[in-house]
Amino acid sequence: MADTKVVSEVTGSVWKVLVAVGDSVEADSPVVLIESMKMEIPVLAPDSGVVTEILVATGDPISEGQAVIALKT
Amino acid sequence: MTIEAKLNELATRKAKALGMGGAEKLANRRAEGNLNARERIDALLDAGSYVESGLYATSHIQEVREKTPADGKIAGYGKIDGRSAAVVSNDMTVMGASSSVVNGKKIRHMREVASKNGMPLIFLGESTGARMPDRMGAQGRAILGQDPAEYQRLRQSPWVSALLGSCYGSSTWYACMSDFVVMRKGAQMAVASSRVTSMAINQPVDAEELGGWKLHCETTGLADLAVDSDEQAIAAIKRFLSYLPSHHNEPSPEHDVSAGADENSKKILDIVPADGSKVYDVRKVVATIADPGSVFETKARFGKSLSTSLIRLQGRTVGILANNPMFKGGAIDVDACNKAISFLVLCDSFNIPIVFLVDQPGFLIGLEGERRAAPSKIINWMNALSLVTVPKISVIMRKSYGQAYLNMGGGRNSDEVICWPTADLGFMAPEVSVNVLYGVKKEEDPARYAELLQQVTRDTSAWNLAALYETHDVIDPRDTRSCLVSMLDVHRKRMGSEVGRHLLSNWPTSY
């Protein structure tokens, strides 16, 4: 088991958080939607795992490379 | 000596050479789950087709001749799915497949024969680098550099590399000159091994971090594909070559068309949302356009906002460059630029028509891109595109903004430009352009904002482009496959026997 921080690839703001602590997620499934460049761009889980922490809230500004959730993979 | 005695000597020498580095080393490899160099050749080539060149070559140094069967790099010719190919397979059981004077001559001969006679060349890589002590001291320097074309790449025939273990020296250099690189997970490619690097910089270095598959598939882009086993790597090589001609003066091979292609293409409206703010995975679109089961994506983990794949359309190879809104909204970053250029080079060098599937909000602007020389990548791409002589078709599905409109084949940068009715053409997103051009923000003057938004939105439609004959047709997205089949037929290079001019044949594919 490893702790993985899931990061946004784009700068923007948090549009929706799609998961909650304790949820199981599959690899490549969307966990957060970022509003950027007038699009809703998903942040995808790099591996399957269980959500251990939500690091952002709706409306938060987000930078490229910033962690949005933590996963136990 | 009688002829019988001479034949006995031949048999003895042959058995010794075929024994490679000895039974114990071969057994160890087998126990580790690795094929040996000869088993890899057997897996690659059609049964019974292999002819070896240099079985009796050894080190030029008398004292180590006995322990250098085939001098550690096994070379020869054979057939892959009935087509001729040349192969170099590194034998780690013989002095770590290190590079020497004699095995360098073997590689050179394979390169020359493959180029001159129009055969793909496959490097099955696993090597430790320069052979020591042969290359030490000034005397060691003197044996280097005897072939000024050693690192010259003119793409007369396709080169493919498999990275199947520790790859330093020649396996690395040839991978960086190859048209397709497959890497087995657990293999490493680097300038020097983690041990040597660690000693040089006086700190611990993790081999996987230094040159593992994630680095090369996701960060450097030097590998196209990662697989779990030697067998999968060899299957990937065969599949890649099935899309390519054997040499640059031949059109790509034709295959049968599997059933169901036209039905698949009707699913396209379920994949692409008409609302430009919603994203989707463009690879699903590519799958509906291609002959069923024919999509072969390259560098899938690198520069993901642009997906590149070889596909077949009506049995013929086509190269697809497709913006992928699923990643970074389809904004084109530096990695995607490098990936696009290397794919244009591949397609143009081997007579593969190019199709752009366009849905991009522009180049990804920001500090990171500028630090990585984004402007030069954008213009290298345009320069490469202007030198392409294979047919080019651009399909504008949704957004095509900014300079990237040209990079993705807009204007006269393609032979034919096709729009979907959802095409949205402008310098930037309409909402952004209201702010930038008129300084009007939605929250401050909603009525004026709405009026200006309507104005700029109308101006970005496909119809205005069509009226000016800058798009040659506006089509129902479900007709994309049939439209491409027709247009690629129209733009076939009949007078050149479907062979281009290959003006990109000596461009690098790694950056």
Q: Rounded to a whole number, what is the distance in Å from the CA of A26 to chain B's nearest CA?
A: 16
Whether residue B89 contacts residue B65, with contact meaning beta carbons closer than 8 Å, is answered with no
Is residue B15 packed enough to be buried (19+ CB in 10 Å), middle (13-18) or exposed (0-12)?
exposed
A64 CB within 8 Å of a chain B CB: yes
The B residues from 266 to 285 touching A (CB cutoff 8 Å) are 276-279
Q: Which residue of A has its CA nearest to B367?
A: A64
At residue B511, does pLDDT exceed 80?
no
Q: Which residue of B has its CA nearest to A38?
A: B277
Any long-range contacts for B486-489 (C-beta under 8 Å, 24+ apart)? B487/B393, B487/B415, B487/B416, B487/B418, B488/B313, B488/B316, B488/B318, B488/B353, B488/B355, B488/B391, B488/B393
Select the residue from A34, A39, A44, A63 to test the B interface by mutation, using most B Cβ atoms within 10 A.
Answer: A39
Least confident of B138-152, B190-204, B344-358: B138-152
Burial B311-325 (b: 16+ CB within 10 A, else e): bbbbebbbbbbbbbb
> What is the Cα–Cα distance from B360 to B324, expressed in whole angstroms?
8
Question: Which residues in chain B have their CB less than 8 angstroms from residue A44's CB?
Answer: 326
At residue B509, does pLDDT exceed 80?
no
> What is the Cα–Cα distance from B221 to B303, expressed in whole angstroms?
8
In this prediction, residue B147 carries a pLDDT of 87
pLDDT band at B415 (very low <50, low <70, confident <90, very high): very high
CB contact under 8 A, B325 and A39: yes
CB contact under 8 A, A38 and B276: yes
Task: Give start and end residues of each alpha helix (H) in B161-267.
Answer: 170-176, 194-201, 207-211, 213-214, 230-243, 261-264
Any long-range contacts for B505-509 (C-beta under 8 Å, 24+ apart)? B505/B154, B505/B155, B505/B156, B505/B248, B505/B348, B505/B349, B506/B152, B506/B153, B506/B154, B506/B155, B507/B341, B507/B345, B507/B384, B508/B153, B509/B177, B509/B178, B509/B179, B509/B342, B509/B345, B509/B346
Q: Which of B58, B61, B50, B35 is nearest to B85 (CA)?
A: B50
> What is the Cα–Cα distance from B1 to B5, expressed in whole angstroms?
6
Question: Which residues in chain B have their CB less than 8 angstroms from residue A43's CB?
Answer: none
Confirm whether pTM is higher than 0.80: yes
In this prediction, residue B133 carries a pLDDT of 86
In this prediction, residue B495 carries a pLDDT of 84
What letter represents residue B8's amino acid?
N
Place of tokens 């086509």: B318
At residue B104, does pLDDT exceed 90?
yes
B366 CB within 8 Å of a chain A CB: yes
pLDDT tens-digit series, residues B118-177: 999 999 999 999 898 888 888 888 888 888 889 999 999 999 999 999 999 999 999 999
Q: Rounded to a whole number, what is the distance in Å from the CA of B330 to chain A's nearest CA?
A: 9
Question: Which residues in chain B have their CB less than 8 angstroms from residue A10's CB?
Answer: 328-329, 331, 364
Question: Which residues in chain A have their CB less than 8 angstroms from residue B326's CB?
Answer: 42, 44
Strand, helix or coil for residue A68: strand
pLDDT band at B298 (very low <50, low <70, confident <90, very high): very high
CB contact under 8 A, A9 and B278: no
CB contact under 8 A, A39 and B279: yes
Q: Which of A10, A44, A42, A73 is nearest to B366 (CA)?
A: A10
A26 CB within 8 Å of a chain B CB: no
Whether residue A36 contacts residue A11, with contact meaning beta carbons closer than 8 Å, is answered with yes
Strand, helix or coil for residue B179: coil
> What is the Cα–Cα distance from B300 to B291, expressed in whole angstroms?
20
Could you tell me what percent of chain A has a pLDDT over 90?
A: 84
> What is the Cα–Cα distance from B35 to B267, expressed in whole angstroms?
43
Residue A16: domain span? 3-72
Q: Tell me the two tokens of residue B123.
A: 């490097």
State the SS3 of B253-264.
CCCCCCCCHHHH
Select the residue from B214, B272, B279, B435 to test the A interface by mutation, using most A Cβ atoms within 10 A.
Answer: B279
Residue A50: which CATH number? 2.40.50.100
Q: Which residue of B has its CA nearest to A46?
A: B301
Q: What angle do CA B390, B392, B397 make, to 5 degrees?
A: 160
Total domains present in chain A:
1
CB contact under 8 A, B277 and A36: no
Strand, helix or coil for residue B362: coil
pLDDT tens-digit series, residues B49-96: 999 999 999 999 999 999 999 999 999 999 999 999 999 999 999 999
- ipTM score for this prediction: 0.86
